[in-house]
Amino acid sequence: MALLLTALPAAAGAQSLLGGLLDKLGGKNASGAIGEAVSALLGKDEVKQNTIVGTWTYDGPAIVFESENIANKLGGKLLSAKGEDMLATQLEKIGMKPGAVKITFNADSTYTCQLGSRTTRGTYEVKDATLSLKKLNFTTLKTNAKVSGSELQLAVEADKILTLVSSLSNLSGSNSMLSTVTNFMKGYDGMQVGVKFKKE
């Protein structure tokens, strides 16, 4: 499935091909979803540290686009829903279910993330629309951040999703469960993958 999807062209003709393919794969309301505007766009506004200080609860995966134009060319609403379903299924296998993960950003630029009995600690930095996470004894991961009221969206390139999950869940090493999702996402320029949180 992933090979078929990543082979689709990211142009106007892809919309009908994608719609037909996902109809066969069981996509919901495929024909009506093509071309719909999506609100899941990459953050472009500066994120202030004081807007993210506090505790946030994981709400689900996010598929985001650089612009509405790109989203519409790719059949954004449908592609986003399908990708999020795939990602949610894989993340749930490692315990990342809505409500199960909490991340607390402290005013001293440290963060703590709790997933079941696993606790991850590190430091963070906010600059423009970039939130950098550095888990203790781990390389720094830069994410695109977007805050909308009580919602926080963190997004990365598809091949960085495992690193993002590791930063949040203390998961180490490779995870073959996410390989299908990564291959699916990498075929689309202008699209990123990530996670959504709600503030407590």
The reported pLDDT for the residue numbered 126 is: 97
Strands 191-199 and 151-156: antiparallel
Contact 169, 96 (CB under 8 A): yes
Q: How far apart are CA 57 and CA 120, in angstroms?
A: 14
Contact 179, 3 (CB under 8 A): no
Strands 101-105 and 54-65: antiparallel
Q: How far apart are CA 49 and CA 27, in angstroms?
A: 39
pLDDT in tens, the chain (200 residues): 222 222 222 322 333 333 333 343 334 343 333 333 345 788 999 999 999 999 999 999 888 888 777 666 666 666 777 778 878 887 887 788 999 999 999 999 999 999 888 888 999 999 999 999 998 767 788 999 999 999 999 998 877 877 787 777 665 544 555 666 666 666 667 778 889 999 99
pTM exceeding the 0.85 threshold for the entire prediction: no
The reported pLDDT for the residue numbered 175 is: 55
CA dist 112 to 58, 158, 200, Å?
A: 13, 24, 15
Q: What is the pLDDT of residues 13-63, one digit of tens each?
A: 333 333 333 343 334 343 333 333 345 788 999 999 999 999 999 999 888
SS3 of 180, please?
helix
Structure tokens of 90?
């894989």
Tell which phi-psi region holds residue 149, choosing left (phi > 0), alpha (psi between -120 and 50) or beta. left
Residue whose tokens read 């993002």: 164
Q: How far apart are CA 90 and CA 96, in angstroms?
A: 9
Q: How far apart are CA 85 and CA 89, in angstroms?
A: 6
SS3 of 99, please?
coil
199: β partners: 56
Q: How far apart are CA 11 and CA 61, in angstroms?
A: 25
